[in-house]
Structure 1
């Protein structure tokens, strides 16, 4: 199969101008980001060739596993965290920075993200809706108390005796959506409202294959929003997009910002 990936020099400048104009004239601008925005910061993707799920069994991180074997769940979760981050301290890249600039300049109302790494916050984006939660916190499964995750992971690694427990006696869990769990209602309801209200919707670095987040661009397009897809691979939403860029998000987004 031919590789149709492009560099920024291969993209028609008039097309980028058209995207910039759509963003400039939009009353409501929204972006949805996926793993492709984080890979440039050194974070591996979960799906695809050599993705995390090629090396780890997703069933180990199912809700049922946490309930039945919390100690085993946490031991595997520690291994997963090391596989994702290792010794890397990821920092925001040019795509994160471009989205933050779009927000600060009044052209973007919110970033909806499937990523759990917190890099949009680090880049300075104020309104980030984390559809899948965040790896930076843990939450007690009983009382709902939340705390910083780093100290908990350090405890698990040092003690070798998971699972970590809250003062109430409940088991802490990563503050992310586990396999077998629904998406959080508050986050999804707000994301759907923003998609419906958007005049321009940027779907960036996502395969748009995981529901229900993948439905957000569809909702936007059906509401006559200008849908822009930036992703190396084809997505199920390309046909309904006004503009599709099969190129590096860290090049396309800054190029659009320059035109604004």
Structure 2
């Protein structure tokens, strides 16, 4: 069974109504990223950061996977599929994908303020101040903030190295280290990119599908399943 590795970015979730990580004005949902998505922000004003992610979690839970998420899950009928996502939502899982690697964490889980390896499911959308981990420290959203290490990057790189087919969906390749993953895909492997605005690509040839995810992904999946 051939292995397909799919790297997804904000573009695929945007079509489910979730805003991209950072708007053109540099803000995220009206906030400066430095005020809500850094360890320093958490130290300065944990209540603000907690509330910010509570609202993002509420929005995620109200959203539904779109036809692009569901189409990628259909690839598992014929291929060994790994989804590597830069997104912190759970739409790939709810869309039916069985193996999803979250580079930047997942907002539906919490983590210990002292030990990031201690994570817990969150019931509902609200994580309250005063909710503690087993070490007695405050629980925060299980997301990777600016200035923090990306613990899953090595595993993601290994997956890319084993790919027989590589697909990039809805990512501008502007955020590192995730953007560097394409360099781990073997040169001879077929590579596809689905995006309405194709970003600058590395020297390796990509087969370009210049469509939004909900159009381009089902087309590509149909082609691969019929191959």
For normalisation by structure 1, the TM-score amounts to 0.76
Alignment partners' CA distance in 2, 1:46 and 1:36: 10
2:127/2:140 contact within 8 Å kept? no
- Per the TM alignment, residue 28 of structure 1 is displaced from its structure 2 partner at its CA by 2.0
Distance 1:97 1:207, change over 3 A: same
Q: Does 1:166 align with 2:133?
A: yes
- Per the TM alignment, residue 191 of structure 1 is displaced from its structure 2 partner at its CA by 1.1
**1:124 maps to what in 2?**
96
* Cα RMSD after superposing both structures: 2.4
Q: Does 1:76 align with 2:49?
A: yes
Greater fraction of residues in strand: 2
- Per the TM alignment, residue 197 of structure 1 is displaced from its structure 2 partner at its CA by 1.7
Q: Does 1:234 align with 2:186?
A: no
Greater C-alpha radius of gyration: 1
**1:219 maps to what in 2?**
184
**1:99 maps to what in 2?**
72
**2:160 maps to what in 1?**
195
Alignment partners' CA distance in 2, 1:87 and 1:194: 27
Alignment partners' CA distance in 1, 2:112 and 2:165: 38
Q: 2:6 aligns to what SS in structure 1?
A: strand
**1:148 maps to what in 2?**
121
Q: 1:78 aligns to what SS in structure 2?
A: helix
Alignment partners' CA distance in 1, 2:132 and 2:217: 42
Q: 1:154 aligns to what SS in structure 2?
A: coil
Alignment partners' CA distance in 2, 1:51 and 1:99: 30
**1:135 maps to what in 2?**
107
1:31/1:108 contact within 8 Å kept? no
Aligned residues: 222
Alignment partners' CA distance in 2, 1:227 and 1:175: 31
For normalisation by structure 2, the TM-score amounts to 0.86
Distance 1:236 1:108, change over 3 A: farther
Distance 1:241 1:47, change over 3 A: farther
Alignment partners' CA distance in 2, 1:141 and 1:250: 37
1:209/1:236 contact within 8 Å kept? no
Distance 1:36 1:84, change over 3 A: farther
